[in-house]
Amino acid sequence: MLKVTVRNLVAHKIRLALTAFAVVLGVAFVAGTLVFTDTMGRQFDRLFSRTGKGVAVQVRPKKVVESEEGAAAPTLPASLVAVVGRVPGVARAHGEVSGFAAIVGRDGKVVGGSGPPQLGVDWDPADRNFPIKAGRGPSGPGEVAIDRQTAGKAGLGVGDRARVVIQGPTQLVTVVGIVDSGSLMGATLTAFDQGTAQRLLLRPGRFSDITVAARPGVSETVLRDRIRRVLPSPDYEAITGAKLREENKSQVATIMSFIRTALLIFAVISVFVGAFIIFNTFSMLVAQRSRELALLRAVGSSRRQVTRAVLGEAIGVGLVGSTAGLGAGVGLAVLLRALFNALGADLGGGLAFTYRPVLWSYAVGMVVTVVAAYLPARRAARIPPVAAMRDDVAMPQRSLRIRMTAGSLVTAAGAVLCGLGLGGSGAALLGVGVALVFLGVAMLAPVLARPVVRALGAAYPRVFRTPGRLATQNALRNPRRTAATASALMIGLALVTGINVMSASAKASITRQVDRSFAADYMVTAAGRVFSPAEPAKAVQAAAGVEQVTALYAGRFVAGGKTRSFVATERPADLRRAARLSLVSGSAELGADGLLVDRPTAASEGLRVGSAVGVRFPDGGSASVRVAGIYARNPLVGSRVLALPAYLAHTDHPTGAALMVNVAKAGTATKQGVERALSAYPGLKVQDQSDVKRSVQQGVDQFVLLLTALLALSIVIAALGIINTLALSVIERTREIGLLRAIGTSRRQTRRMIRLESVLIAAFGAVLGIALGVVAGIAFQRALRGQGLNVLSVPVTTLAGYLVLSAVIGVLAALWPAWRASRIDVLRAIAVE
């Protein structure tokens, strides 16, 4: 039987190659994802082993609030360095400073920005982690050293003058050194002398943490315990260097786990779609070779041997597809690394190869192929030996009633779970329900094929005459085959459509929110991470035509055991004009300790005017604030507005959220005047209402484009499935096509018939997929109304475009099968048994 299996693989090279290609694409996604994330993991391991080298113990303040980069954080007094340095076993104790600092390049743009952090640190001459490659380390005010990658992006060298953006006023500095940072994964590094770093990034006499080197023979654990005993406050902690490195790796592992999971989801979708093609191909191959298989049974082969022979072919396809997919996955990993490098996250070095991509590539490729081919193999084994004596052999087919019953039950169960999810049981339950509905409709597809295809092809006979009529009949002849072929396209288009409905709803919701809450003429925000709004606000206020500037600060505190976000402003009453803040009760006069909350927050936390709320700030300080007023929900402002004095009392470097600018007469000249006023503050951008809408909508569009590009792989696989089905169908109908040619059908009519059949199959899958995607998109929009997605928008034009695109896919998929059908030799075709 092994010889029979090999002979069949060789005899059907083209058909099985197309099937293997579906395996290749799915496996490539799996392998590429694992190779890429392994590469990221190796690079981070190198980075952390380098930066944490020589640290036996770290002393740091206990984190109070999970804050964003640049936000206020607790610090350590400089006097603690001497205390720690006197502990027995300590070789060296060094106070470290870290904060936000970003270099401005020669083009006037801030290097870095959204994504990797922009680090400002103190320069430690004894630290060998970042060796000097050119120049020297900074030794006084106005001097900095920057990393090599940042210097290249900024176009700066030793001796050049540059500007550094911090949370305070922009600093004019001289680059005195270039350091080798290895690879900071796109992060930027700006080093100051220690005194300057404290003054600019923290405050004089304070450190972010203290790193400790141990004397020879002193273990990290012993030294940590000794240092803990001398710490003057329970708000300080000492951890071993091993734990510090493990924490850093854990944070990165979380990021990589998210990236890996997101990419593998698309890989699973591609593999799932590919399984439809594999099942369809082997079903058709078994049907075409039914007499051959019956002869094998007649000459003594058992059912088990016939099953093994067909599964052996599947193993061969899976082996070839997995091997090619592994190679393609390496290429995909190279593309992903190039993409991350282009975005500023330089991975450096080559790819990392481990056993995992190889293991999972073959596991996925082989298992999916064999499982998808199992039912056709079992069906082949049920062919009776006596069938070898008949001219035609019909494969045993189960009634569609069983399929209709099972599909209806699965669809109904999914609908119930969707209802529960919409009723408040959670988005996860809704997701499971939608997945079951997708599966149920895929099971019902053979039942739906007859009425839907008949309706789609109703105009064919009138428009295309005989070829149109024959194309419709061919698509209806085997509804199982038509459904299996169309289901692959259905899944891909359903996901793409659902994403498009969600994105259209998100953009419509954003537009409504901006219209309702953006009352200022302009909004000033930071293109990078953080900025201090005090000085820019003064500059804008002095610009011609500016009537009011409302500075919004961003912060977090802990209240009720949870981290809460807030904005702070000097004159909350100005928000009524700048952000259409509508007060429901109480007063907007906050004094030194007042707090405004929106109505949903007040209801959920049981707050009312006059309530006292105990809060703790990131610097470790505590306060009691009073609820002065309650306002209607406002997406621009958020859920809390704190009195500015209460915020400033707990930070030395206030973080800006935005400047809201009202002018006497909005226009191009006024906007340019505001931009000129901010020329000394790189990274700040001025936007009017339309700019804000466009910026957010572009972000949504870019995200949707990325998801659609990833899902496009499943649509490519679906197109391969149509090619495969039509190619096998042409072989199956060789004699029929020969007879049509013999009675006068032209080659052109033959090609048209195949193309029209392909378009029907593609249109059937598109109609089901778009309908499912619209339903899924609406369901998720309804479930997320409480999170700001409160406007439903169905992009009808885009969906119509997808329907047209599906027809084009059908035409393209039919080119090769139609050409083969038209080139069939008439006499040989008629003689085929």
Joined together, the tokens standing for residue 456 give 């789609």
Which residue in 808, 37, 803 sits closest to 496, CA to CA?
Answer: 803
- Contacts of residue 787, defined as CB under 8 A and 6 or more positions apart, other chains included, come to none
Joined together, the tokens standing for residue 383 give 């062919």
Give residue 381's identity as a one-letter amino acid code: A
Q: 584 and 634 in contact (C-beta within 8 Å)?
A: no
Chain centroid to CA 217: 47
Cα 774 to Cα 803: distance, rounded to the nearest angstrom? 13
Q: 677 and 540 in contact (C-beta within 8 Å)?
A: yes
Coil vs helix vs strand at 354 = coil
Cα 13 to Cα 17: distance, rounded to the nearest angstrom? 6
Joined together, the tokens standing for residue 79 give 């006097």
Give the per-residue pLDDT at 393: 44
Give residue 781's identity as a one-letter amino acid code: Q
- Contacts of residue 614, defined as CB under 8 A and 6 or more positions apart, other chains included, come to 559, 622, 623, 624
Joined together, the tokens standing for residue 437 give 């509905």
- How far CA 618 is from CA of 233, 552, 560, 650, 656, in Å, comes to 16, 18, 15, 8, 16
What is the mean pLDDT of each successive set of 10 residues along the chain, which is 833 residues long? 59 67 79 82 67 83 68 82 93 91 86 75 82 89 90 90 87 91 72 93 91 91 93 91 82 73 78 77 70 69 77 82 87 79 62 83 86 78 62 53 85 87 74 87 88 90 89 86 84 90 90 86 79 88 90 90 90 86 89 92 92 89 92 90 92 86 88 89 86 85 82 79 78 78 85 91 92 91 81 91 90 87 76 59
Which residue in 755, 752, 753, 775 sits closest to 763, CA to CA?
Answer: 755
Cα 733 to Cα 735: distance, rounded to the nearest angstrom? 6
Provide φ and ψ at 457, rounded to 5°: -95, 15
Joined together, the tokens standing for residue 68 give 């964003």
Give the per-residue pLDDT at 114: 60
Joined together, the tokens standing for residue 363 give 């596991």
- How far CA 155 is from CA of 108, 183, 332, 396, 567, in Å, comes to 11, 18, 31, 73, 37
Cα 556 to Cα 65: distance, rounded to the nearest angstrom? 7
Provide φ and ψ at 156, rounded to 5°: -115, 150
- Contacts of residue 499, defined as CB under 8 A and 6 or more positions apart, other chains included, come to 704, 707, 708, 711, 773, 777
- With b meaning 16 or more CB within 10 Å and e meaning fewer, what string describes 290-311? bbebbbbbeeebeeeebbbbbb
Tell me the residue length of the chain: 833
Pairing of strands 684-687, 594-598: unpaired
Give the per-residue pLDDT at 435: 86
Q: 579 and 517 in contact (C-beta within 8 Å)?
A: yes
Sheet containing strand 90-96, edge to edge, reads: 90-96, 209-214, 57-61, 236-240
Cα 103 to Cα 682: distance, rounded to the nearest angstrom? 10
Joined together, the tokens standing for residue 786 give 């409480």
Which residue in 18, 7, 8, 11 sits closest to 725, CA to CA?
Answer: 18
Q: 106 and 156 in contact (C-beta within 8 Å)?
A: yes
Coil vs helix vs strand at 337 = helix
Q: Count how many Cα atoms sit within 13 Å of the Cα of residue 593 in the half-sphere of its side chain.
A: 11
Residue the block writes with tokens 């990325």 = 706
Strands (E) in 570-611, as ranges, are: 583-586, 594-598
Joined together, the tokens standing for residue 625 give 């604030």
Provide φ and ψ at 583, rounded to 5°: -80, 130
Give the per-residue pLDDT at 684: 87
Cα 76 to Cα 59: distance, rounded to the nearest angstrom? 9
Other Cβ atoms closer than 10 A to 668: 7
